[in-house]
Amino acid sequence: MNLESALRYLATAGMPLVDLVYERVNNRESRKNIGQDYGLPARRIGQIHRVARDLFEGEGEQLANRRHCAQIARDARMSIDTLITMNKTVNRVNDHAAREPLRRELFEYAVSKSFEEVEAHAKLRLQEINERHPRTAHDQRWLRISGNPDTNGMRFMLARLTDSDAMALANALDQTAREFQKGDPKLSRQQAMADALVARVLGGTGASKSKVFREPVLLVPSDGCTYMGNGLLATSDGAIVPAREHMDSLLSEFGYATMWAPDLEGKMQHVDLWRTRRTANDKQRMMMVIDQLICADPECTHTAITSEAHHIEAWKNGGHTNVDNMVIACRPHHARNDDDRELQRYGHLTRDPVTGQACRQLVDEHRSRRYHQFPLAQYNGRNWVLNHELHTNNLYKPEEPPPD
């Protein structure tokens, strides 16, 4: 097949692509891995999978209509971009009862039409339908903050507000921004408004003064000590001392501090107290945040500080609320987990049995666990203490995760 033939086939292979992605995602493959196989970003794989779910899943008359639309697309050999555009349009209809009739209308219209014709018709029909069923401006508000910093260590924020709220916010920030510019004439208007927003919301006098989620943490190695459980350490001379007393003897005022020590089996453990409550307390959450920095799922980059404490052995199954039975996970990955192992749907979040690193065990127990490769994860407290033990006590030798 030459290049021209390949492009012509791609222009008509929308449904084969939808079938392929749907099958691979249902086999528990991540969008990232699928995208890497075909040189596509995970976002694009997600768009195709959304088309698949909206054509292959549903109930009753809804499912019958979707199957009819899928058959139209197959027979007409529609492109993937045409399918994505129509699917996005349907999902933006405010009146849910009007979505399936519009889906059928668009698919029937798209037969023998160009992408541009379908796109223009879809926009027109969406506008007409939503004018009859408008959403209130209040319902359309949102605020988005990027999940990861850019190469300059900056994050992006974008908001959608009603005209009155946006103007009120701008007016509230204006005076503070003017004061900042008087104090520093080099500040641009945009920079001054950004500093004013931080100052008004977080306190202080500008962005550089913000301390939210940025408190110092001192990681303390427990050289010569063995963790005995229940917050007790055995020193090299045989004495048993409470970990708090040992920590107090090493620390002054440095903010948060946490300690790891090898247990009797040589496995690195957080030094912590057992507890009977289900939810993690603030101390435990902070220890896990330091341990991971980001969500335990290897495909996720959600920050740990805004995520949730997740029980490895579910609380309902008798799992205790102690750090060695918990990891930090974002809300979607906290829910997307096989608490009951026999379900075998998603796999489950766990810890490496040797290093204690947070990871995901795949559904197939014979396949390797997946570990985070995101750069920020490499700077977490767990990696720091493991490297410390390797170089000072030669406690263990870290190994690369085995290939699947």
Q: pLDDT digits over 182-237, tens only?
A: 888 899 989 999 999 988 888 765 554 444 445 667 677 777 788 888 788 888 77
Residue 215, pLDDT score: 63
* Least-confidence region, from 40-54, 134-148, 225-239: 134-148
Residue 370: enclosing H or E segment and its boundaries? strand 369-370
Instruction: Return the pLDDT at 395.
Output: 58
DSSP character string of 225-265: -EEEETTEEE-TTS-EEEHHHHHHHH--S-SEEEEEEE-TT
Mean confidence (pLDDT) of the chain: 83
Q: Which of 348, 205, 231, 371 is nearest to 299 (CA)?
A: 371
Residue 254 scores a pLDDT above 70? no
Share of the chain above pLDDT 90, in %: 32
Indicate if the pLDDT at residue 22 is higher than 60. yes
From the list 358, 298, 300, 361, the residue with the least C-alpha distance to 328 is 358
The model's pLDDT over 50-106, given as tens digits with 9 standing for 90+, comes to: 999 999 999 999 999 999 999 999 999 999 999 999 999 999 998 899 999 999 999
User: Residue 122 CA to chain centroid, in angstroms?
Assistant: 32
The residue ranges of DSSP E strands in 191-336, in sequence order, are 217-221, 226-229, 232-234, 240-242, 256-262, 268-270, 308-311, 326-329
pLDDT at res. 274: 36
Euclidean distance between CA atoms 334 and 344, whole angstroms? 16
* CA dist., res. 43 & res. 32, Å (int): 8
Predicted local distance difference test score (pLDDT) of residue 285: 86
d(CA 371, CA 293): 14
In sequence order, the 6+-apart residues with CB closer than 8 A to the CB of 157 are 143, 144, 145, 146
- Looking at the predicted structure, is the pLDDT value of residue 283 above 90? no
Indicate the Cα dihedral angle 234, 238, 241, 244, nearest 10°.
-50
Q: Which of 290-304, 343-357, 364-378 has the lowest mean pLDDT?
A: 364-378
Q: What values do phi and psi take at 221, rounded to 5?
A: -75, 145
3-state secondary structure of 173: helix
Amino acid at 212: V
